[in-house]
Structure formats: structure tokens, C-alpha cells
């Protein structure tokens, strides 16, 4: 059996070849010119691009097309300008000692040692080049963002304005008269039967975390939260805000928030960057080349990243080949996305300039060059469901809005696939809680939408799942009205036509299950029916060529569950986590691997496994599962 490794939020990848610029003799004693820095930056970008996943390697564009040279130059200049800004604004110049320490940290904590070695080879394994070209950009950006976030020289005017409005509009009824953005959102303890599109269902751990957050805001106990009282003004890195608890029961709480967003870092930096020089004075420092550590996790094991992103619920993530991109799902917060790089064990937030607004229940796909976000719900009952979206380019850290012309109607809880040239979205619920059987195909090259046919389309539904076969999108399961279904259909975008799936031998009706495409079959497993009370550990394999189903074995199958994570490895389906009872008070911290060739389940290692959890997305990188 092929070895595999499983990691929480990160992975180790295979090594690919990369080119490097000619060796620099005596580089540690010389100052790097701007042109030299650009050359080495392009060498690092080339390594990243070689590892970037693309639907068809044959059609993969050149790096020069994906990342014009002027953007490489801007990256280089930014790291130098940011270093000078740290010194000028906060008297915190980056010292060689700091760069050396960060280089050592990266070498010791890397989760992708082979890729890190490849990057360092592109820099001639020269510690000064590594310090200047890889470490300085990471450290300068991280520190500059941290200092800017809470500096009253930049945010004091907004704070004073928010304070005056809170004093003037001191009641809950007057919160909407404040100039900040007002939002209402209802949180519910997950009971397995909640299908309301305007409610965020939380596991018990997530529920307790949110209740404790509200309690700290009021200086109260989480079981005795005050109702109809405006909090004092709060601050975090991105905003000032007040909140009020509008209603609360044992399993639900409705919260109103008015928030004043600080000027995003990217906007501020774009307005001041030219004030700081893109050059540095030469310093003499004997950098030492650290030893890159070897991962201790090699087969059927878990490991953890040490630099985790902000905790969130309802997020969606993809793996690009070098980075984990996570977007959306942060309750009440504008910091909606970020990318984690396991090679350097570092987290970098997405630019918020032109980004879609905060949302959950949205769709997300990776095209090979861009992350596409579309649809979803942003709180405030039903008046905040979207048919808007955006395309994010991680190489340029820039957003481009998706067209609204002919876009599907606003919805949350739709499903999506990437075909290699289009994103197809289908189903979900509209602002009035009506389930949909409509959809659309989005072409990012032309920024245009085409509607999916309604002829022979499956019945309207939410809570379903989809897979892409290479030629067709298969839709199956979910909830139609108030009942789970075991019906589905295949959609062919080339002919814009639907074909009904056989129900003979199909698994029982269900929702909150997982679906994976094996290359020849759609494998569905787990889920729940009977209004959330009957959890399942059964499944089925659907062959679209023969239009037939075969049941998956229950021998050694994992405990019945819903809202679990699942990925296809190329030979096995891995499932992990999920809710195992009606109110999700019990969650699974174990999983298993299913091999369809022999119809067999194998338990996963539980050593160092993450804590039990549910509703966590998973991605497969080619060798590892990311949770």
C-alpha cells in the first residue's frame, strides 16, 4: 500500500527541479543591487510556479505571463521600503540578528523541508541571500502590519469618531443610526436539523468559544449574558466595534454589531510606500547557514503547524501546490482570507482591497492561477445573500470582482466544481429560504456567466454534494423541502444537458454526507437523515458509465457521522471528524481510509490526532490531507 502522511493545516510535498541564477562569488561581503534582488526574486517565483497546481500542465502558462517582471520588482521594493518604514515610523529597524533568528526558525519549523531546500538552492544556499530575499520580505511585512494595526496615529481619528457615536447613540434601538456598518447574525448550537440559511450552526466547542467571547466583552458569565445592552467600544486589528445581544436561549443567540473598519493595511501602505526608499545601507554580518530539520512525520501520522491562522467557522480552503488558501467564515470580521506556506511555516493575510465582503455558505474553486469566490450569506437575516464574488491571484495578492451580468440569483449553500475552464455553481437557497435547482457557469477568461439548463435538472435542494468527473458534474442527495433525498443527476456543460441518475441500489436519502470522485466512480458516505436523528455509516459507489450503484462495506467502517471531512488520495478515500449525535455534542476525533478496489476500511492512526471536530473542510495535495 502506498505510504501517506496526514497533517493539520499543512502538508509536505514532492520535490521538483528548479533553476537558479549563477552562483555569486563572495556574496556575503557584497551589497545586493536592486537588479540582483529582482533576479533572485524571479528565481524564487519560478520555484513556486513549478509547484503550482494547474488543471492541465500542458496548458499551464509561463511564469512571465502569470507574473510580469514589474510585479517581481514591486515585491523586492516593498520589502526594502517596509524595512525603512519600520525604522522611520517605529524606530524598529530590522537587524541582521533578527533575520538570522527568523532564518533559524524557518529551518527548524518548516513543514516542507524538501521544498525549502529547493528554494534555498535557488538562492545558491547562501545565507545572506536567504536572509535578504526570503526572510526579510516575510519579517518586514509581518512586523509592519502588527505595528500599523494598533497605532493611534493612523486610527485615532476613527476611534474618537466611534467613541462619540457610541456616547450619542447609547441604546440598542439607535445602533443602526451609527455611521459604522451594522450587521445582525444568529448563532445556533448545532442540533442536526437546522437548515435555516440565515443561521450559523456551531458545534458545542465553537458555541462555547463564541459565548465566552461575548461574555468577555460584557465582563459577564457566559451563562448570564446581558440582553439589549450596548457594549463598550472594542478594538481588534481591523476595526472598532460595539455589540448587543438581541435575544438568547439555551441553543440560540442573536447578536447585533456596529463596526467601524480601519483603513486596510494595503490601502494605507499603497498611499505611503513611495515615501520610503527602496534601498538599504550595507551592513557587515556573518550569517550562518542553518540546518534544515527533517520532518518526524513520514507515514500514517499527524503533525501540527506552529503558526496557525485566526480561528474561524464556515471557511473554505484550497491547496495551490505551495500554499493553503483559506477564505471566508470569520464571524463578524473583515479579515476574510489568508495563505499558509508550510515551507517557511508562515501565514500571510490576503489583501482586502476590492475583496468580496465577509460571508459564509459561499463557493470557492482553484483554477490554477486564481481563487474564485462566489455567493454566500453575510448575516442580517435574509437581506444579505449574495450573487457577487471575486477572483484572487496569490502571486500578485490582488482581487478582481466577478461580473454580475447573467450571474445566478443570490444564494447560500450552493455547490461548485472547476471544470478546467469554468466554475459551475448549482442549487442552494435564496434570500427567502426557497431551495433552488438553477445554476450558472462562470468563465474567468471572459468574465462571463452562462445559465445551466433547467430541462431534466434535479429537484431544488440544499445540503447536497457534487463531484466533477472530467466531463460531467454529478449532483446527488441533500434536502428537498424538509425531506432528505437520494436522487441526483449528471450535468454536461458541453451540451448544457442533464441526465437522471438511477436510484436502484442507491444509498438511503441523506444530507451532510461526503462525496469523492475516484476517477471512475462517485463515492458517497456517511451523513444523516430523519431530520438529523439518524446518523449513517453506510455509503455507495456510483458508476456514471453504467448508471449503477454498489454499496460500500460496513465492515470496519467508521462510526456513523455527519459533517465530516473527506478527500480522495488517488487510491483511497480518507474520512475524519464529524458529528456523531443529534446536537453535535459528540464529535469524532478518529477516521479511516476506504479502498474501493477491495471494498475495505482501514482505521487511521490516532496518535497526535487533532481534537474532535466537525464541519472542517479538507484538501488533498497529492501526498497529504490538509484539515
Per-residue pLDDT tens over the stretch 549-589? 999 999 999 999 998 999 999 999 999 999 998 888 888 88
Q: How many degrees, rounded to 5, is the angle at CA 154 between CA 149 and CA 155? A: 70
The whole-angstrom separation of Cα 521 and Cα 298 is: 29
Name which of 152, 164, 310 is nearest 233 in CA terms. 164
Are residue 41 and residue 144 in the same domain, yes or no? yes
The whole-angstrom separation of Cα 582 and Cα 390 is: 36
Domain end, chosen from 110, 134, 151, is at 151
Would you say the C-alpha torsion 213, 219, 223, 229 has a positive or negative sign? Answer: negative
Are residue 479 and residue 599 in the same domain, yes or no? yes
**What separation in angstroms does the CA of 11 have from each of 295, 303, 369, 619?**
11, 9, 20, 10
Count Cβ atoms within 10 A of the Cβ of residue 247 and give its class: 0-12 exposed, 13-18 middle, 19 or more buried: exposed
Query: Is 419 a member of any domain?
Result: no
Q: How many residues does the chain have?
A: 627
Query: Is 434 a member of any domain?
Result: no
Are residue 112 and residue 189 in the same domain, yes or no? no
Are residue 242 and residue 133 in the same domain, yes or no? no
Are residue 91 and residue 145 in the same domain, yes or no? yes
- pLDDT of the residue at 194: 47
Are residue 608 and residue 469 in the same domain, yes or no? yes
Residues 390-440 have pLDDT tens digits of: 999 998 899 999 999 999 999 999 999 999 999 999 999 988 879 999 999
Q: Report pTM.
A: 0.85
Query: Is 269 a member of any domain?
Result: no
More confident residue, 295 or 171: 171
Are residue 223 and residue 257 in the same domain, yes or no? yes
Query: Is 506 a member of any domain?
Result: yes
Are residue 112 and residue 178 in the same domain, yes or no? no
- pLDDT of the residue at 381: 53
- The CATH number assigned to the domain holding 585 equals 2.120.10.80
- pLDDT of the residue at 452: 98
SS (H, E, C) 241-298: EEEEEEEECCCEEEEEEEEEECCCHHHHHHHHHHHCCCCCCCCCCCCCCCCCCCCCCC
Query: Is 92 a member of any domain?
Result: yes
Domain end, chosen from 232, 261, 290, is at 261
Regarding beta strands 199-202 and 181-189, do their DSSP bridges make them parallel or antiparallel, or are they unpaired?
parallel
Q: What is the number of structural domains in the chain?
A: 3
Which residue range forms the structural domain that includes residue 578? Answer: 455-621
Are residue 46 and residue 59 in the same domain, yes or no? yes
Q: Mean pLDDT, to the nearest integer, of 517-537?
A: 95
The pLDDT-based confidence of 627 (bands split at 50, 70, 90) is confident
Are residue 108 and residue 168 in the same domain, yes or no? no
Query: Is 370 a member of any domain?
Result: no
Domain end, chosen from 209, 237, 261, is at 261
Query: Is 49 a member of any domain?
Result: yes
- pLDDT of the residue at 58: 76
The pLDDT-based confidence of 18 (bands split at 50, 70, 90) is very low
The whole-angstrom separation of Cα 293 and Cα 291 is: 6
Q: Mean pLDDT, to the nearest integer, of 316-336?
A: 75
The pLDDT-based confidence of 245 (bands split at 50, 70, 90) is very high
- pLDDT of the residue at 401: 97
The whole-angstrom separation of Cα 603 and Cα 605 is: 7
Query: Is 304 a member of any domain?
Result: no
Q: State the helix-helix crossing angle for 136-149 and 265-272, rounded to 10 degrees.
A: 110
- pLDDT of the residue at 198: 63
Classify 519 in phi/psi space as left (phi over 0), alpha (psi -120 to 50) or beta. left
Are residue 146 and residue 244 in the same domain, yes or no? no
Q: What is the DSSP string of 377-394?
A: B-SSTTTTB---EEEEET
Determine the 3-state secondary structure of 571 from DSSP: coil
**Terminal Cα distance for the chain, rounded:** 23
Rg (CA), the chain: 25
Are residue 465 and residue 605 in the same domain, yes or no? yes
Amino acid at each position: 500500500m502506498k505510504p501517506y502522511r496526514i497533517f493539520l493545516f499543512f502538508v509536505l510535498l514532492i520535490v521538483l527541479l528548479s533553476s537558479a541564477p549563477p552562483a555569486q562569488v563572495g556574496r556575503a561581503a557584497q551589497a545586493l543591487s536592486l537588479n540582483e534582488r529582482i533576479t533572485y526574486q524571479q528565481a524564487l517565483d519560478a520555484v513556486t510556479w513549478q509547484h503550482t497546481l494547474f488543471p492541465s500542465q500542458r496548458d499551464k502558462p509561463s511564469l512571465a505571463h502569470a507574473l510580469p517582471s514589474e510585479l517581481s520588482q514591486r515585491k523586492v521594493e516593498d520589502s526594502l521600503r517596509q524595512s525603512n518604514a519600520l525604522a522611520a515610523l517605529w524606530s524598529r529597524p530590522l537587524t541582521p540578528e533578527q533575520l538570522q533568528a527568523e532564518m533559524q526558525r524557518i529551518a527548524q519549523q518548516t513543514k516542507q523541508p524538501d521544498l525549502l531546500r529547493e528554494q534555498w538552492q535557488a538562492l545558491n544556499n547562501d545565507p545572506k541571500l536567504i536572509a535578504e530575499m526570503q526572510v526579510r520580505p516575510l519579517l518586514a511585512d509581518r512586523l509592519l502590519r502588527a505595528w500599523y494595526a494598533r497605532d493611534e496615529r493612523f486610527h485615532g481619528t476613527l476611534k474618537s469618531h466611534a467613541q462619540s457615536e457610541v456616547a450619542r447613540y447609547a441604546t440598542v434601538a439607535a445602533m443602526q443610526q451609527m455611521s459604522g456598518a451594522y450587521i445582525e447574525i444568529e448563532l445556533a448550537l448545532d442540533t442536526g436539523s437546522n437548515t435555516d440559511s440565515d443561521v450559523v450552526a456551531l458545534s458545542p466547542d465553537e458555541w462555547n468559544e463564541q459565548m465566552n467571547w461575548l461574555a468577555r466583552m460584557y465582563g459577564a458569565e457566559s451563562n448570564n449574558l446581558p440582553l439589549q445592552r450596548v457594549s463598550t467600544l472594542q478594538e481588534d486589528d481591523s476595526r472598532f466595534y460595539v455589540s448587543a445581544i438581541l435575544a438568547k436561549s439555551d441553543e440560540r443567540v442573536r447578536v447585533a454589531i456596529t463596526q467601524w473598519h480601519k483603513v486596510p493595511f494595503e490601502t494605507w501602505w499603497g498611499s505611503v510606500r513611495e515615501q520610503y526608499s527602496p534601498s538599504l545601507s550595507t551592513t557587515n554580518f556573518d550569517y550562518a547557514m542553518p540546518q534544515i530539520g527533517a520532518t518526524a512525520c513520514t507515514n500514517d501520522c499527524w503533525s501540527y503547524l506552529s503558526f496557525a491562522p485566526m480561528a474561524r467557522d464556515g471557511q473554505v480552503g484550497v491547496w495551490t501546490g505551495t500554499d493553503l488558501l483559506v477564505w471566508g467564515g470569520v464571524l463578524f470580521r473583515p479579515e476574510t482570507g489568508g495563505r499558509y506556506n508550510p515551507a517557511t511555516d508562515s501565514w500571510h493575510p490576503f489583501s482586502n482591497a476590492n475583496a468580496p465582503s465577509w460571508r459564509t455558505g459561499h463557493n470557492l474553486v482553484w483554477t490554477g492561477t486564481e481563487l474564485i469566490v462566489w455567493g454566500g450569506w453575510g448575516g442580517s437575516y435574509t437581506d444579505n445573500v449574495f450573487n457577487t464574488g471575486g477572483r484572487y491571484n496569490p502571486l500578485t495578492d490582488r482581487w478582481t470582482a466577478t461580473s454580475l451580468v447573467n450571474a445566478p440569483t443570490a444564494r447560500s449553500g450552493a455547490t461548485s466544481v472547476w471544470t478546467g475552464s469554468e466554475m459551475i455553481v448549482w442549487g442552494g437557497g435564496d434570500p427567502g429560504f426557497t431551495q433552488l435547482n438553477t445554476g450558472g457557469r462562470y468563465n474567468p477568461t471572459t468574465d462571463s456567466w452562462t445559465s445551466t439548463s433547467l430541462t431534466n435538472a434535479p429537484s431544488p435542494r440544499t445540503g447536497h454534494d457534487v463531484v466533477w468527473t472530467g466531463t460531467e458534474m454529478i449532483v446527488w442527495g441533500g434536502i428537498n423541502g424538509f425531506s432528505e433525498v437520494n436522487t441526483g443527476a449528471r450535468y454536461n456543460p458541453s451540451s448544457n444537458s442533464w441526465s437522471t441518475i438511477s436510484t436502484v441500489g442507491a444509498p438511503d436519502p441523506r444530507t451532510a454526507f461526503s462525496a469523492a470522485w475516484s476517477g471512475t466512480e462517485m463515492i458517497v458516505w456517511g451523513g444523516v437523515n430523519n431530520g438529523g436523528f439518524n446518523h449513517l455509516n453506510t455509503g455507495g459507489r456510483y458508476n456514471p458509465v453504467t448508471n449503477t450503484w454498489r454499496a460500500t462495506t460496513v465492515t470496519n467502517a467508521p462510526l456513523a457521522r455527519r459533517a465530516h471531512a473527506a478527500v480522495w488520495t488517488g487510491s483511497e478515500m480518507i474520512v475524519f471528524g464529524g458529528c456523531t449525535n443529534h446536537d453535535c455534542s459528540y464529535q469524532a476525533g478518529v477516521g479511516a481510509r476506504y479502498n474501493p478496489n477491495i471494498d475495505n476500511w482501514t482505521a487511521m492512526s490516532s496518535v497526535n490526532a487533532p481534537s474532535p471536530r466537525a464541519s472542517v473542510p479538507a484538501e488533498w495535495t497529492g501526498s497529504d490531507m490538509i484539515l
